[in-house]
Amino acid sequence: MSLIKSISGIRGTIGGREKDNLTPIDTVKFAAAYGTWLKQELQKDKITVVVGRDARISGEMIQNLTMNTLVGLGIDVIDIGLSTTPTVEVAVPLEKADGGIILTASHNPKQWNALKLLNNKGEFLNAEAGAKILKIAEAETLEFAEVDDLGKISVKENYIDLHIEEVLKLKMVAIDKVKNAGFKVVVDAVNSSGGIAIPALLKKMGVEVVELYCEPNGHFPHNPEPLKEHLTDICNLVKKEKADLGIVVDPDVDRLAFIDETGEMFGEEYTLVACADYILSKEKGNTVSNLSSSRALRDITQKHHGNYKASAVGEVNVVKLMKDTNAIIGGEGNGGIIYPQAHYGRDSLVGTALFLTYLAEKGKKVSEIRKEYPSYFMSKNKIELTPDLDVDGILRAVEKRHSNQEISTVDGVKIDFPENWVHLRKSNTEPIIRIYTEAKSQQEADELAQKMIKEIEDIIA
């Protein structure tokens, strides 16, 4: 069905033909390329890699293939089993490992899986490293270890608990305040590893938990992307249970969405906004999100007299700009919270703990907190082009037409108008321009998108 190779890893569907899907052969080849890259880069006798997975049906198979490929290269493996993306990111530096592999296709449906690759800091690899690994994977031959030099697998099963301990140690997390608030929370973890991690965290914080789809069996009961149209069940259950909040995570627990006490979406874009508002109220500093994230984070940052910067789309780009600007919190508008005091990776456990602390301190309902933030609405569209068209030339023409506006060309073309914005990005795999807009009403956002589509059509004509 599909196999996508990128600088951040390899992603594909299970079954089918080699090179067209994530087959055992493709899994072994890519795991071997990553291990070979580590050996080439580090030039040391003993290398250790942490490996963890989400609860996908194919997870155990893909993990065994990956770990034993590394063993065949002479690399030691720390198997932390059923886990979350941020848990693996936390485990790598705690174990003083040389790298990490997370086996998850994030919010993709159950037939997908992926190998996501980390460096020795537990952070995603940069473009240069990713390109080297892709080149190694395309090589005709790979060299494995002699029998006396094979690696070993050691199992550590309690890493989600260790991750929770690290979260609860954070200065900005106030367990006692949350306990005293007496919250009742419904959790939808789409039957993946968040069903272990999020309820366990909440119980440690003295929260009453109502579990919905928290059995980590990999059978996703609805589309695993945490969007409004997929979350009818939890919205209804929050109202039925008279809960204070609903918490939704994707299969690998790096995206976080909230449901307010009325059963309405808090808004995935506003997960980061609310957590940043809390952190900035305690500590002055800067923030970062990507170019396709809500302007609301900029507004909140400026309210607290900080500086906001926007990076190219992609977690590794957000992290780099956060480091460059000493940002104290950042992330992506899809509900990804990156809080450097924990680690440089999107982490729904960190986001949950920060938000609950904020909620307890404010003493307000979730819906009341949401009303305190500026309201923006997004529209996401695309325009399909013929392969012979010069997409870069089209984007340059759009940029020239709007040269009197605030423009960023860090990632495609983003035009910041006084009351709204539009972000145009070309696809790397097909002749498509993706069009993201944001405005103060849904109608305005939709109209801006259609206006930009018409403008591109005029340029082509």
Model confidence pLDDT, tens digit, residues 244-276: 999 999 999 999 999 999 999 999 999 999 999
pLDDT at residue 78 is higher than 60: yes
> What is the tens place of the pLDDT at every residue in 125-182?
999 999 999 999 988 789 999 999 999 999 999 999 999 999 999 999 999 999 999 9
Helices (H), 285-346: 296-303, 315-325
Q: How far is CA 134 from CA 7, 35, 128, 317, 346, in A?
A: 7, 12, 10, 19, 24
> What is the tens place of the pLDDT at every residue in 312-331?
999 999 999 999 999 999 99
User: Where residue 5 falls among pLDDT bands split at 50, 70, 90?
Assistant: confident
pLDDT at residue 4 is higher than 90: no
**Where exactly are the structural domains of the chain?**
3-157, 163-371, 377-460
pLDDT for the residue 367: 98
Using a 10 angstrom Cβ sphere, with 0-12 exposed, 13-18 middle and 19 or more buried, the burial of residue 382 is middle
In the CATH scheme, what architecture does the domain 3-157 have?
A: 3-Layer(aba) Sandwich (3.40)
- Report the distance separating Cα 2 and Cα 8, nearest Å: 16
Which whole number is the average pLDDT over 325-352?
97
Give 267's contacts (C-beta < 8 A, 6+ positions apart). Answer: 370
Which whole number is the average pLDDT over 422-440?
88
pLDDT at residue 388 is higher than 80: yes
Q: Domain 377-460 falls in which CATH fold? A: TATA-Binding Protein (3.30.310)
What percent of the chain shows pLDDT beyond 90?
90
pLDDT for the residue 429: 64
pLDDT for the residue 7: 67
Residue 277 token pair: 């508002």
Residue 53 token pair: 């997975």
pLDDT for the residue 56: 97
Q: Which of 8, 106, 289, 379 is catalytic?
A: 106
> What is the tens place of the pLDDT at every residue in 20-64?
999 999 999 999 999 999 999 999 999 999 999 999 999 999 999
**Topology alike, domains 3-157 and 377-460:** no
pLDDT at residue 233 is higher than 90: yes
Is domain 163-371 given the CATH code 3.40.120.10 in the classification?
Answer: yes
Q: Is 106 a catalytic residue?
A: yes
DSSP-derived secondary structure letter, 251: T
Nearest-5° Cα angle at 268, 312 to 443: 85
pLDDT for the residue 227: 86
pLDDT at residue 200 is higher than 80: yes
Q: pTM of the full predicted structure? A: 0.94
Q: What is the mean pLDDT of the chain?
A: 95
To 10 degrees, the CA torsion angle through 212, 214, 220, 222?
20
- Report the distance separating Cα 147 and Cα 151, nearest Å: 9
